[in-house]
Amino acid sequence: MFVKLIILGPPGVGKGTYSTRLSKLLGIVKISTGDILREEVRKGSKLGRLVEKHLKEGTLVPDDIMVRIVEKRIRKAGSKGFILDGFPRTLEQAQALDKIVKIDAIIYLSMDEEILIERLLRRRVRKRCGAVYNVTDIRKVVNGVEYIFPPLLSQRRRICDLCGGPLVRREDDEPEVIRRRLKIYKRLSKPIINYYKTRGVPFIEICVNREPSIIVDRIVYRLKELNLI
């Protein structure tokens, strides 16, 4: 399937979760700039050393570096479709991406900020295998929207079910870093959204207020409506 998608939304809304599920379901390549950068940091590569400070502080990696990384991964995907997670994050990145490939649709995820912060503070990850868990149990109505998020726990406390390693909080899930990331996101996302809307790229807008299986079904339904799958 040769569908070319971007998934957008604030930090912690679940872009990684949904891009992973959609890539498997649709048979397309997931290109996650966050995963790529964190892996380079883990390996201690030249790129990893360059971007480590940005990741820890919640600031953006320079556009030219991100564009080169994404272009390389898109070309590697070849005839397969892809879903971009974490890119573009600036208007300049969006404009550069247009010179590389034509995007078929934008999946735009939203969530109330109060819920978002609560979930990020209780998120636990296994860096080596990429598994994500959450220890919070949310059942509340905010601004007229009902949010129901049961906890996503590992079978053994603080131990990953997939690889058996310890679960930890991500460095960028600290309260001050979360607030900084959200502030940056709000400032930079509006021009990107306006850019794609003025170019007529279809938007699939989804409120993330339930568990992933329900949200994935909503996204797939909308993709079918657009005759993209």
Kindly report the CATH number assigned to the domain that includes residue 58. 3.40.50.300
Domain total of the chain:
1
Q: Is residue 117, in this structure, part of any structural domain at all? A: no
Residue 67 has a pLDDT of 92
- Is 123 one of the annotated active-site residues of the chain? yes
Is the confidence at residue 50, as pLDDT, over 90? no
**Residue 134 domain flag:** no
Note the pTM of the prediction, 2 decimals: 0.86
Among 30, 73, 119, 123, the active-site one is 123
**Which domain does 221 fall in, by range?**
4-111+175-225
Which of 4, 15, 119, 222 does the annotation list as catalytic?
A: 15
pLDDT digits (tens, 9 = 90+) for 16-41: 889 999 999 999 999 999 888 888 88
Name the catalytic one among 170, 180, 210, 218. 170
pLDDT at 57: 77
Task: Tell me whether residue 118 is in a domain.
Answer: no
pLDDT of residue 128: 79
The CA dihedral of 16, 17, 20, 25, to the nearest 10 degrees, is -150
187 catalytically annotated: no
CA-closest candidate to residue 185, choices 12, 4, 6: 12
72 given a catalytic annotation: no
Please, what is the Cα angle at 138 between 204 and 20, to 5 degrees?
A: 40
Q: Is residue 83 domain-resident?
A: yes
Q: What is the pLDDT of residues 122-167, one digit of tens each?
A: 999 987 787 889 999 999 999 999 999 999 999 999 999 999 999 9
206 part of a folded domain: yes
For a pLDDT cut of 90, what percent of the chain falls above it? 69
170 catalytically annotated: yes
| 107 lies in some domain | yes
- Position 9 in a domain: yes
Assess if residue 120 is contained within a domain.
no
15 catalytic? Reply is yes
